[in-house]
Each structure stands twice: as structure tokens, then as C-alpha cells.
Amino acid sequence: MSSLPAAQSPELNAPMRELAEISGFRFKHPVHFQSIDRDGVTRYLEARIREVVKPQEIRAEELTLKKFGFVPADFDLKKNTLDLLTEQAAAFYDFHRKRLFMTDWTSASLRDVALVHELAHALADQNFPLEKYTRKVEHDSEQSLAREAVVEGQATWLMTEVLARRAGRTLANQDTAHEMLKAASDSSGGQYPVYDRAPLFLRETLLFPYSQGMAFQQAVFQRDGKSAFAELFRVPPVSTHQILHPAAYFAGELPTSPKIKGQVKGSRRLVEGTLGELEHAILMRQYGSRETSDQIAPQWRGSSYQLLEHRATKRLMLLYASEWKDPASARDFFEAYQKVLNGKWKRCEVQTRSASAIAGEGDDGYFRLWIDGSRVRSEEGFADKR
């Protein structure tokens, strides 16, 4: 059997009431739960992907990751995502079915901790429907990740606060919060081999909503107290920049959307979107260093990209623009992005170079990279010189 029938458990009511007391959310009704085995988790995840993501959307996302250089050319996004999520599962809450699943292979100690995390989701869902909250911005990856950081960050914070209280402590104490936030940001330490083998992009974007989301929740809690929990659903953050820098959220700083210039006859727009501060930080770490990433990424102010596909030849072309705090930080990124180009291609032949632009040919065609004030623009993968 892959799972047992759903049921209600009075044993879950006590932790739900404790979570309600901490967060200020109302505990409205008991939670349905059921046990599920590893095959059942895989089938469940496959079914959910079929329900909420169209095959062309998965293809577009995979091609975008490959074009930017986040993953290798032979990477299977769907398979690797399924493997990662299955490995990480201990318990999970289904926003759509309003049901909590508990895996039957996880150790009792880990399952108990994960259960509190998922009960926090169930409680939030009873006050602010999580499916509606997350799906409202599902076509904007930057806003989606920011809202995911609210959902997972709050649950991680509440789980950690429950554990702290059991030890006679609280995250309201800054020293305790600092200690536990540091522990939450630690790596998997060999416990999750699929995670440890995954590309940096998948590892960082999987961990971000939990670790950085918890740190963000702590910052808002320190300012607003218990009201912070509901407030983040009423006024959600809009970017990973706001999650990483709570002061930007408090100030209401919005990301810019630099316009994309250029079009190719005979092509269609496969996908368009934004790379946030987090993705830029990952890109510079992957092809440069953490020091470079930590220095430049916080200067991010906005970005836009389009991935074009030629209808006849199926050639993929990337149009990309990023905006930075000032021309100086744009130049820093201009230099850093040249390392990205050299790193993601086996061949990067610069044919023309000036103080503000380079152009040449890479593995997948011609490219041009240039500075435009506080913006850095790139065109990549074209059949002809730009």
C-alpha cells in the first residue's frame, strides 16, 4: 500500500494550538493526515506536476537554466526535481487537498520536527489560503520565490520557536535567534546525497525559502512582533532582494524592469522573466567566487530576459538586461559576467573589445555584451554577428 486512508488525530490539536498562540493565527479545525511510502510520494509529486505545470513550461524553464549556464546541457529538470523533493520529504502539507502526509521511512525524531513545520503550513492555510497566495504570482518567478520564502520561512521559524521553547528558550532573544539561524543555514552534511550532487542553482533555490525565509521572518518579527505573521500575507514581499535585505521590504523598494531591445525575424518568444538578486548571486558564485558574489549581488536593482526560439532552425537566443545601483556596480557586473560567458562555454572567442562592450562567438553562436549606464545588456546565441 502506498498510503493509509486520511484521518484526523486529536494528537495534532495540541501542537496546532501552540502554533496558534505563537503566531496569532486562529486554529479553526483539526487537520486530516495520512501515511505515505516512497513510491507514493513519487507518484504524488508526478501527479501534482502534471496538474499545475504544463510540459511546455517545464521545457521553457529547463532551456532557460541551460542558456544562462545554471545547469549542464544534458540536465533533466523534471527528473532531478522529483528526485530532490522525494529525498527531502519527511512530511508535507497539500495546500490543494488540505491534507498532511507523513512519510513512513523517516526516523521518528526527524518526522516529529517536520510534523510541526507542516502543521504550521496547515494553520497558516486556515487563515490565508496558501494555494491562492502562491498561485497569484505563479508566472513571475521572482515574486513566486519571495512568497515561497514567506510560506516556508514562517513554518521554519515557528518550528524552530517550538523547539526552542521545549528547551526553555525563545527566538525573541537575539542570541538564541542568531544561534538557531546559523544552524538553519548549515548544509545537509552528507545526509542527502541527491541534494549534495545537484547543481548549485537547485541546491540554493531549494534551501533559500527555508534558511533566508526564516531570517526574513525573524527580522519582521523583531520589528512587528506577533502581527508579522499575518502582515506578510497581507503585504507580501516582491523580490528575493527584499527577502535578503528586510530593510528594502520595510522601505517598499520595488525592482526595476529594464526593457529588452531587439527581435529576430522568424523567431517566437519562448519565455520571458526576471533573474533576481539570488540568481545573480548564484551565477557569480558558480563562475567566479563567493567574495565577488557577496560584493556585487546586493547592488542588483532589477532585470529582464527573453528566450527566443527560431521557428525554422530551433536556434535559441537570449536577450538579457540587468540594472544595478549605479554605473560603478554595473561595471563590476560587466566584468563578472564575462567570467560567466567564459565559464559556461567551452569556446568564448572575443572578436571586438572596448571599455564598455565586447562581442564575439561562443558555443551556440554570436554574442554581444555591453554597459548602458547602470545597466548591463547581453545578446547570446545568434546566427549572425550583432
Residues 102 and 200 in one domain: yes
In a domain, 295, yes or no: yes
The residue among 201, 221, 251 that closes a domain is 251
Query: pLDDT 10s per residue in the chain (386 long)?
Result: 344 444 556 578 999 999 999 999 999 999 988 889 988 988 998 888 888 788 898 999 999 999 999 999 999 999 999 899 888 888 899 998 899 998 888 777 788 889 999 999 999 999 999 999 999 998 899 999 999 999 999 999 999 999 999 999 999 999 999 898 887 666 555 678 999 999 999 999 999 999 999 999 999 999 999 999 999 999 999 999 999 999 999 999 999 999 997 778 889 999 999 999 999 999 999 999 999 999 999 999 999 999 999 999 999 999 999 999 999 999 999 999 999 999 999 999 999 999 999 999 999 999 999 999 999 999 999 998 87
* Contact between residue 122 and residue 54 where contact means Cβ atoms under 8 Å apart: no
Residues 355 and 222 in one domain: no
Residue 121: alpha-carbon gap to chain centroid: 18
* CB-based contacts of 135, cutoff 8 Å, min separation 6: none
In a domain, 185, yes or no: yes
In a domain, 1, yes or no: no
In a domain, 2, yes or no: no
Residues 35 and 125 in one domain: yes
* CB-based contacts of 310, cutoff 8 Å, min separation 6: 264, 266, 267, 316, 317, 383
Residues 37 and 160 in one domain: yes
Residues 219 and 276 in one domain: no
Res 54: pLDDT:
84
In a domain, 259, yes or no: no
In a domain, 261, yes or no: no
* Contact between residue 341 and residue 318 where contact means Cβ atoms under 8 Å apart: no
Domain that holds residue 160: 7-251
Residues 139 and 271 in one domain: no
Residues 22 and 129 in one domain: yes
Residues 73 and 99 in one domain: yes
In a domain, 262, yes or no: no
d(CA 46, CA 227): 37
The residue among 198, 216, 251 that closes a domain is 251
Res 1: pLDDT:
35
Res 138: pLDDT:
83
Residues 223 and 149 in one domain: yes
Res 191: pLDDT:
76
Residues 69 and 212 in one domain: yes
Helix (H, G, I), strand (E, B), or coil: what is residue 85?
Answer: helix
H helices of the chain, in order, are: 13-23, 38-52, 55-68, 77-88, 108-127, 130-135, 141-166, 174-184, 193-197, 200-224, 228-234, 240-244, 246-251, 277-287, 290-296, 327-344
Residues 58 and 97 in one domain: yes
* Helix (H), strand (E) at residue 266: none
The residue among 196, 216, 251 that closes a domain is 251
Indicate the residue type of 27: F
Residues 204 and 99 in one domain: yes
Supply 101's cell numbers. 502526509
In a domain, 369, yes or no: yes
Res 9: pLDDT:
60
| Number of structural domains the chain divides into | 2
